[in-house]
Amino acid sequence: MGWEAWLTAALSVGSLILLASTRLPPHSVMFFALTVLITTGVLPANEALAGFSNSGLITVAALFIVAAGMRDTGAIDLLIQRLLGRPTSLRSALARLCVPVSLCSAFMNNTPIVATMVPGIAAWARRLDVAPSKLMIPLSYASILGGTLTLLGTSTNLVVNGQYARLTDAGELSLLFLLPVALPAAVIGLAA
């Protein structure tokens, strides 16, 4: 192996150690590793920064802004109060939570949905006298299952769509391309 491979391996191991053992923000650790790779010439700047021009990344960033706006205006709290209400059992609470979250996650990226909903769902759980932990994993699963329904739903779908369009001449996939396969899987997953 050349020195470039050794440097890359050392940076990878060092980054993992820093991420696991310190309170440094992940973006700082990764930005440092990227900067080292660029300044040493291991990675050309245009290749290193190419990911920032990916339409999938830009879409996810925009959806984080929309989700933050919904949170800051109180729309999330209103949604939780009106839509989720006061169920009488944990099973009813899960149904009221999972169906709307999966539908929202189909058209807004699932990561900002979960990040935005966690504080509201925790408060809702306390009002219902239910441990918040009993709702958080179902929240995550519902958003993942809903996110698989459309290209917008998960950042993975957006990245794959961008790569597919770049590597083939077929163009981008349609918004609902995944629906025929994803809908039965989501219904089964939510019912389980």
- Cα separation, 34 vs 54, in Å, equals 17
Going by C-alpha positions, the residue among 31, 28, 33 that lies closest to residue 12 is 33
Q: Which residue is associated with the tokens 């996650």?
A: 105
Q: Which residues contact 71 (CB under 8 A, 6 or more apart)?
A: 116, 119, 120
Going by C-alpha positions, the residue among 124, 74, 75 that lies closest to residue 96 is 124
Name the pLDDT band for 145 (thresholds 50, 70, 90): very high
User: Residues 28-73: pLDDT tens digits?
Assistant: 999 999 999 999 999 998 888 877 776 767 777 787 787 778 778 8
Read off φ and ψ for residue 86, nearest 5 degrees: -125, 85
- Cα separation, 183 vs 90, in Å, equals 25
Average pLDDT over all residues of the chain: 88
Domain ranges in the chain are 3-51, 54-191
